[in-house]
Amino acid sequence: MSRPLKFTNVARSTFFATVRQRVDAYFQSQELSRHANGAMWTKTILLLVSFVGLYGLIISGQFGVWTMLGLAGLLGACCALIGFNICHDALHGAFSESKRVNKIFSLLFNLIGANPYVWTITHNIVHHTYTNIPGHDEDIEVAPGLVRLSEDEPVRPWQRFQHFYAFPLYGLASLSWVVRKDYVKFFQASIGQHTTKHPRQEYINLFAYKALYYALFIVIPLVVLDITWWQFLLGFLGLHFVEGLVLGLVFQLAHVVEGTAFPSPDETGDMQEAWAVHQLRTTANFAPNSRLASFLCGGLNRQIEHHLFPRVCHIHYPALAAIVKQTAHEFNLPYLENRTFLSALHSHYRVLQKLGR
């Protein structure tokens, strides 16, 4: 890419200025902080206690093989929920107004197998800027050559079956983070349009925290537990399959469903619409009225609000959704929603089926 891609807002849309003003007015009128409230802190404590409790139960070795496998799966799900609810907000600077608090909670990302520094580049900078733009947003590159998520990609014969095999592949996302993806991204010359020149401390952090993760989830279980190698492998893979499947599905249901666009730059290499309008065209909500989905997904079922206001704690997204939806309709802009998790899942399935042809 010869020069950075830009959003030129040819139509001079004032959508984002309007919705941002209304959101600011909401927080001011309600005298609310944009960061975590009591409910958010309660959820944070609950998730962290669950993580420690599940890990402790597994390391205790007091259960049979299949019970241990079930606990490993629950621990994997808990890791994904910590990523959604705590780390994600902290890495966006949304959890607390204190940078130190956000930094502390972002370090928890290492305990679910991912490097927070690499994530900040790939997700906060690249994905949030160039959402769903082929060749720029590396988050939509899921198993390149196996899963086709853009019409710009060549069609391969086996992809006619991708609506079947894509879902098991999503289950490998977490394992890929642990053993491959973070290293590959870290040592790439660039991620999207972001040139990767890292501080020396981040090299130390990458290897030190990976070593800590391997010690907690590989070395200690093998040393402490009276299990065979295949029982350990079954539990380790079970943990990561559940974690990866949860992480993968939440992302895909927000960006790869019917109605979401995968636009390409014009002949000058620019996007001619406003960045915020682009977010509305490339992002979708799912199960927006489900309290359970909001609790478990860390507000990422309201992905539209997250992309427009990533520095606002997700606990506030239900209130923001009404403002954003009304403003989008006033400007005749799309506001994409799937009413339930299952309808979003079915929509994603149909997209995979269509692109596989």
Q: Which residues pair with 284 in a beta bridge?
A: 336
Residue 2 has pLDDT above 60, yes or no: no
User: What's the rounded mean pLDDT across residues 104-110?
Assistant: 96
Q: Which of 34-38, 133-137, 188-192 has the lowest mean pLDDT?
A: 188-192
- Res 195: pLDDT: 73
The encoded tokens of residue 132 equal: 């769903």
CA distance 209 to 154: 38
Residue 34 has pLDDT above 70, yes or no: yes
Per-residue pLDDT tens over the stretch 234-257? 999 999 999 999 999 999 999 999
- Res 144: pLDDT: 75
Residue 191 has pLDDT above 80, yes or no: no
CA distance 180 to 288: 34
- Res 3: pLDDT: 63
Per-residue pLDDT tens over the stretch 52-63? 999 999 999 999
Query: pLDDT grade, residue 279 (50/70/90)?
Result: very high
Q: Higher model confidence: residue 142 or residue 128?
A: 128
Q: What angle do CA 106, 108, 112 make, to 5 degrees?
A: 125
Q: How many CB atoms lie within 10 A of CB 38?
A: 8
User: What's the rounded mean pLDDT across residues 281-290?
Assistant: 96
Query: pLDDT grade, residue 269 (50/70/90)?
Result: confident
CA distance 157 to 159: 5
Q: What percent of the chain is predicted at pLDDT more than 90?
A: 82
Q: Which of 3-7, 28-32, 219-223 has the lowest mean pLDDT?
A: 3-7
Terminal-to-terminal C-alpha distance of the chain: 29
Residue 338 has pLDDT above 90, yes or no: yes
Q: What percent of the chain is predicted at pLDDT more than 70?
A: 99
Residue 146 has pLDDT above 50, yes or no: yes
Q: 318: exposed, middle or buried (C-beta count within 10 Å: 0-12, 13-18, 19+)?
A: middle
User: What's the rounded mean pLDDT across residues 164-170?
Assistant: 93
The encoded tokens of residue 306 equal: 């997250």
Whether 174 and 247 have beta carbons less than 8 Å apart is answered as yes
User: At a CB cut-off of 8 Å and minimum separation 6, what does 315 contact?
Assistant: 36, 37, 39, 40, 299
The pTM of this model reads 0.92
Per-residue pLDDT tens over the stretch 67-93? 999 999 999 999 999 999 999 999 999
Q: How many residues does the chain have?
A: 357
Residue 145 has pLDDT above 90, yes or no: no
Query: pLDDT grade, residue 1 (50/70/90)?
Result: very low
Query: pLDDT grade, residue 301 (50/70/90)?
Result: very high
